[in-house]
Copies of this chain bind each other. A is one copy, B any other.
Protein backbone atom coordinates (compact mmCIF):
# COMPACT_ATOMS: atom_id res chain seq x y z
CA UNK A 1 0.00 0.00 0.00
CA UNK A 2 2.88 2.38 0.64
CA UNK A 3 6.63 2.41 0.43
CA UNK A 4 7.11 5.26 2.87
CA UNK A 5 10.25 4.84 4.89
CA UNK A 6 10.11 4.19 8.59
CA UNK A 7 11.59 7.55 9.59
CA UNK A 8 9.34 9.59 7.28
CA UNK A 9 6.23 8.45 9.14
CA UNK A 10 4.00 11.13 10.56
CA UNK A 11 0.63 10.74 12.27
CA UNK A 12 -0.86 12.03 8.99
CA UNK A 13 0.61 9.31 6.76
CA UNK A 14 -0.17 6.63 9.34
CA UNK A 15 -3.77 7.85 9.39
CA UNK A 16 -4.00 7.64 5.62
CA UNK A 17 -2.71 4.05 5.63
CA UNK A 18 -5.02 3.09 8.51
CA UNK A 19 -8.10 4.48 6.76
CA UNK A 20 -7.29 2.38 3.70
CA UNK A 21 -7.04 -0.77 5.82
CA UNK A 22 -10.20 0.02 7.81
CA UNK A 23 -12.15 0.53 4.57
CA UNK A 24 -10.83 -2.68 3.07
CA UNK A 25 -11.12 -5.04 6.06
CA UNK A 26 -13.71 -3.22 8.11
CA UNK A 27 -12.76 -1.59 11.42
CA UNK A 28 -13.72 -4.66 13.46
CA UNK A 29 -11.70 -6.93 11.18
CA UNK A 30 -8.54 -4.81 11.45
CA UNK A 31 -5.87 -5.69 14.02
CA UNK A 32 -2.76 -3.71 14.99
CA UNK A 33 -0.90 -6.47 13.14
CA UNK A 34 -2.72 -5.59 9.90
CA UNK A 35 -1.96 -1.89 10.42
CA UNK A 36 1.69 -2.63 11.15
CA UNK A 37 2.02 -4.71 7.96
CA UNK A 38 0.24 -2.17 5.76
CA UNK A 39 2.29 0.71 7.15
CA UNK A 40 5.52 -1.25 7.01
CA UNK A 41 6.43 -0.22 10.56
CA UNK A 42 6.42 -2.14 13.82
CA UNK A 43 3.49 -2.15 16.19
CA UNK A 44 5.58 -0.33 18.80
CA UNK A 45 6.28 2.41 16.23
CA UNK A 46 2.54 2.78 15.75
CA UNK A 47 2.04 2.99 19.51
CA UNK A 48 4.61 5.79 19.46
CA UNK A 49 2.12 7.81 17.40
CA UNK A 50 -1.26 6.69 18.76
CA UNK A 51 -2.73 4.85 21.73
CA UNK A 52 -4.32 2.21 19.50
CA UNK A 53 -6.59 1.57 16.56
CA UNK A 54 -9.57 3.31 18.15
CA UNK A 55 -7.57 6.57 18.25
CA UNK A 56 -6.85 6.16 14.53
CA UNK A 57 -10.56 5.62 13.92
CA UNK A 58 -11.43 8.70 15.93
CA UNK A 59 -8.93 10.85 14.03
CA UNK A 60 -10.12 9.51 10.69
CA UNK A 61 -13.83 10.05 11.25
CA UNK A 62 -13.09 13.42 12.89
CA UNK A 63 -11.44 14.54 9.67
CA UNK A 64 -14.61 13.65 7.74
CA UNK A 65 -16.93 15.18 10.35
CA UNK A 66 -14.87 18.38 10.67
CA UNK A 67 -15.04 18.80 6.89
CA UNK A 68 -18.81 18.32 6.87
CA UNK A 69 -19.57 20.54 9.88
CA UNK A 70 -17.29 23.31 8.55
CA UNK A 71 -19.67 23.58 5.57
CA UNK A 72 -22.53 24.55 7.90
CA UNK A 73 -20.56 27.60 9.09
CA UNK A 74 -19.65 28.90 5.65
CA UNK A 75 -21.41 32.11 4.57
CA UNK A 76 -23.33 30.25 1.85
CA UNK A 77 -24.88 28.07 4.55
CA UNK A 78 -25.72 30.82 7.01
CA UNK A 79 -26.93 33.73 4.86
CA UNK A 80 -29.73 34.13 2.38
CA UNK A 81 -32.91 32.23 1.69
CA UNK A 82 -33.14 28.76 3.28
CA UNK A 83 -33.61 26.99 -0.07
CA UNK A 84 -30.38 28.56 -1.37
CA UNK A 85 -28.61 27.59 1.85
CA UNK A 86 -29.73 23.98 1.65
CA UNK A 87 -28.68 23.86 -1.99
CA UNK A 88 -25.30 25.30 -1.02
CA UNK A 89 -24.86 22.75 1.76
CA UNK A 90 -25.77 19.91 -0.61
CA UNK A 91 -23.23 21.13 -3.16
CA UNK A 92 -20.46 21.54 -0.59
CA UNK A 93 -21.27 18.20 1.09
CA UNK A 94 -20.71 16.47 -2.24
CA UNK A 95 -17.40 18.34 -2.61
CA UNK A 96 -16.22 17.39 0.88
CA UNK A 97 -17.22 13.80 0.18
CA UNK A 98 -15.11 13.78 -2.99
CA UNK A 99 -12.17 15.59 -1.33
CA UNK A 100 -12.14 13.34 1.71
CA UNK A 101 -13.43 10.20 0.02
CA UNK A 102 -11.69 7.51 2.15
CA UNK A 103 -12.48 9.37 5.39
CA UNK A 104 -16.15 9.90 4.58
CA UNK A 105 -16.39 6.30 3.32
CA UNK A 106 -15.14 5.13 6.70
CA UNK A 107 -17.54 7.47 8.51
CA UNK A 108 -20.48 6.06 6.55
CA UNK A 109 -19.50 2.48 7.40
CA UNK A 110 -19.22 3.01 11.13
CA UNK A 111 -21.51 0.61 12.97
CA UNK A 112 -21.62 1.57 16.64
CA UNK A 113 -19.70 -1.21 18.44
CA UNK A 114 -17.28 1.12 20.25
CA UNK A 115 -17.52 4.47 22.04
CA UNK A 116 -15.88 6.20 19.09
CA UNK A 117 -18.27 4.61 16.62
CA UNK A 118 -21.29 5.61 18.70
CA UNK A 119 -19.92 9.15 18.97
CA UNK A 120 -19.45 9.27 15.18
CA UNK A 121 -23.01 8.05 14.59
CA UNK A 122 -24.28 10.71 16.99
CA UNK A 123 -22.37 13.44 15.12
CA UNK A 124 -23.72 12.17 11.79
CA UNK A 125 -27.25 12.37 13.14
CA UNK A 126 -26.53 15.90 14.36
CA UNK A 127 -25.37 16.90 10.86
CA UNK A 128 -28.49 15.35 9.33
CA UNK A 129 -30.68 17.26 11.79
CA UNK A 130 -28.99 20.54 10.91
CA UNK A 131 -29.73 19.92 7.23
CA UNK A 132 -33.28 18.79 8.00
CA UNK A 133 -33.76 22.10 9.89
CA UNK A 134 -32.65 23.99 6.79
CA UNK A 135 -35.12 21.99 4.69
CA UNK A 136 -37.86 22.78 7.21
CA UNK A 137 -37.05 26.48 6.96
CA UNK A 138 -37.18 26.25 3.16
CA UNK A 139 -40.58 24.55 3.41
CA UNK A 140 -41.80 27.31 5.73
CA UNK A 141 -40.70 29.85 3.09
CA UNK A 142 -42.87 27.99 0.54
CA UNK A 143 -39.80 27.09 -1.51
CA UNK A 144 -40.13 23.35 -0.98
CA UNK A 145 -42.82 21.12 -2.45
CA UNK A 146 -45.60 20.80 0.09
CA UNK A 147 -46.18 17.11 -0.68
CA UNK A 148 -42.71 16.08 0.48
CA UNK A 149 -42.05 14.78 3.98
CA UNK A 150 -38.93 16.55 5.31
CA UNK A 151 -37.58 13.60 7.28
CA UNK A 152 -37.89 11.28 4.30
CA UNK A 153 -36.53 13.87 1.90
CA UNK A 154 -33.46 14.40 4.11
CA UNK A 155 -32.79 10.67 4.20
CA UNK A 156 -33.20 10.27 0.45
CA UNK A 157 -31.07 13.34 -0.27
CA UNK A 158 -28.24 11.96 1.89
CA UNK A 159 -28.83 8.48 0.47
CA UNK A 160 -28.16 9.89 -2.97
CA UNK A 161 -25.18 11.99 -1.89
CA UNK A 162 -23.63 9.24 0.23
CA UNK A 163 -23.98 6.68 -2.58
CA UNK A 164 -21.04 8.48 -4.21
CA UNK A 165 -18.64 6.61 -1.93
CA UNK A 166 -19.74 3.40 -3.69
CA UNK A 167 -18.91 4.46 -7.23
CA UNK A 168 -17.10 7.80 -7.40
CA UNK A 169 -13.36 7.38 -8.01
CA UNK A 170 -11.40 10.59 -8.59
CA UNK A 171 -9.62 10.73 -11.95
CA UNK A 172 -6.35 12.60 -12.35
CA UNK A 173 -7.32 15.96 -13.82
CA UNK A 174 -10.98 15.04 -13.43
CA UNK A 175 -12.11 18.54 -12.48
CA UNK A 176 -14.78 18.64 -15.18
CA UNK A 177 -16.22 15.29 -14.05
CA UNK A 178 -16.12 16.49 -10.47
CA UNK A 179 -18.09 19.64 -11.29
CA UNK A 180 -20.53 17.55 -13.30
CA UNK A 181 -21.19 15.25 -10.35
CA UNK A 182 -21.89 18.24 -8.09
CA UNK A 183 -24.20 19.86 -10.64
CA UNK A 184 -26.07 16.62 -11.37
CA UNK A 185 -26.72 15.97 -7.68
CA UNK A 186 -28.04 19.51 -7.20
CA UNK A 187 -30.18 19.44 -10.36
CA UNK A 188 -31.63 16.04 -9.54
CA UNK A 189 -32.36 16.82 -5.89
CA UNK A 190 -33.83 20.30 -6.34
CA UNK A 191 -35.31 20.36 -9.81
CA UNK A 192 -35.77 16.68 -10.62
CA UNK A 193 -34.99 14.80 -13.80
CA UNK A 194 -38.16 15.72 -15.65
CA UNK A 195 -38.33 18.69 -17.99
CA UNK A 196 -40.44 21.36 -16.31
CA UNK A 197 -43.68 22.06 -18.11
Contact = CB atoms under 8 A, between A and B. Distances in A.
A152 interface: yes
B188 A153 contact: yes
Interface in A139-197: 142-149, 152-153, 155-164, 166-167, 180-181, 183-185, 187-196
A160 B153 CA distance: 10
A11 B3 CA distance: 50
A65 to B, nearest CB: 18
Task: Name, among A149, A181, A193, the residue most crowded by chain B CB atoms within 10 Å (CB to CB).
Answer: A193
A189 B152 CA distance: 13
B145 A194 contact: yes
Interface residues of A, number: 39
A167 B149 contact: no
A154 to B, nearest CB: 10
A193 B163 contact: no
Contacts of A145: 187, 191-195
A190 B193 contact: yes
B184 A156 contact: yes
Nearest to A164: B159
B192 A192 contact: yes
B148 A159 contact: no
Contacts of A152: 180-181, 184
Given A162-B163, A163-B155, A143 B188 contact: no
Interface of A: 83, 135, 142-149, 152-153, 155-164, 166-167, 180-181, 183-185, 187-196
Given A152-B184, A159-B166, A191-B194, 6 more contacts: A146-B195, A153-B193, A162-B163, A188-B189, A189-B192, A191-B192
